[in-house]
Amino acid sequence: MAHVATTMFGQAVVGPPGSGKSSYCKAMGSYLRSIGRKVAIVNLDPANDTLPYEGAIDITELVTLEDTMSAFKLGPNGGLMYCMEFIEKNIDWLLEKISALKDHYFLLDFPGQVELYTHHNSAKNILSKLVEFDLRLCSVQLVDSHHCSDPGKFISALLLSLTTMLHTELPHINILSKIDLAEKYSSKLDFGLDFYTDVLNLDYLLQRLDEQPGTKKFKKLNAALVGLIEGYNLVSFLPMSVSDKKTLCKALAAADKANGCVFGTGEPRNIQSLLACATGAVSEQERLGEFMDEYS
């Protein structure tokens, strides 16, 4: 009898408020189901009481931001941090729910408060506990592509992405979301889209910052921040639109490679997938996505 692996795979979806995390989870969940995978979308945002998808697990059954703010007289930010600390302390509740869905691919919809992924430790500790539970995760950070239209905002997005990558300590991919809307402000972009996705020579952005009245006085600081980003040389982006199946396919292929799902669960598929990665062959998901585009 063939060995059946118990390892689970998934994505931890993070990013600032409004970057499209819940919409991404809904669209990616639908795409995964269309290619034959069982999917479990997990709402880990205690403030999200109106889900655009059907959640297999909903953290509001354990704790809600509204109740926390009311009980402890906290504001939204402090309340959300308390909620994440509460989830960390009661992680067994979440692990028990996940254990009942071992044959599923997980999409974890996290809150949008950026402090949770830059210096607060509860989200990081929750992710560590999930990895210890043999849930192989990669972090998927969404950044609104509108930030490309402003040099200062884009550098801020780069810093946020870099900090999140270093703090969460997970395999990580960054996504420029809502790329379909980029055409509406393409005239405001100083460079082509490849410049922003590949994070090319940022000295050109420095020149734009030095030309702006509000930022040129911070010339040395701007140069230091850009030097920090380029020194690590870790950040790049995938463009994505939830309405474009091909971009979802590419995002899934990158996530599967990052969390190890691409290597499969059986030995024959392991060998095939390793050869595909080594030779740069088109992934299973990309081939299927092209097939669906042709016949849909």
CA distances, 24 to each of 59, 139, 177, 195, 204 (Å):
18, 13, 9, 24, 31
199-257 tens-digit pLDDT:
989 999 999 888 888 887 899 999 999 999 999 999 999 999 999 999 999 999 999 99
Q: By C-alpha distance, which of 267, 257, 255 is closest to 12?
A: 255
How far apart CA 13 and CA 3 sit, in angstroms, is 30
Alpha helices (runs of H) in the chain, residue ranges in sequence order: 21-34, 65-72, 76-89, 91-99, 115-118, 122-132, 151-168, 193-197, 203-211, 219-232, 245-259, 267-279, 284-295
CA distances, 200 to each of 194, 221, 240 (Å):
8, 19, 19
Q: 100 in helix, strand or coil? A: coil
Phi, psi of 206 (to 5 degrees): -60, -40
Residues β-bridged to residue 43: 58, 109
Asked whether the beta carbons of 247 and 241 are under 8 A apart, the reply is yes
How far apart CA 13 and CA 269 sit, in angstroms, is 27
CA 149 to chain centroid: 21
- The one-letter amino acid at 105: Y
145-188 tens-digit pLDDT:
999 988 999 999 999 999 999 999 999 999 999 998 876 766 67
Set out the domains of the chain in order of their start, with CATH numbers. 8-199+235-295 (3.40.50.300)
pTM greater than the 0.85 cutoff:
yes
Most confident listed range (99-108, 211-220, 278-287) = 99-108
pLDDT score recorded for residue 157: 96
Q: By C-alpha distance, which of 133, 100, 139, 98 is closest to 15?
A: 139
pLDDT of 61 over the 80 cut: yes
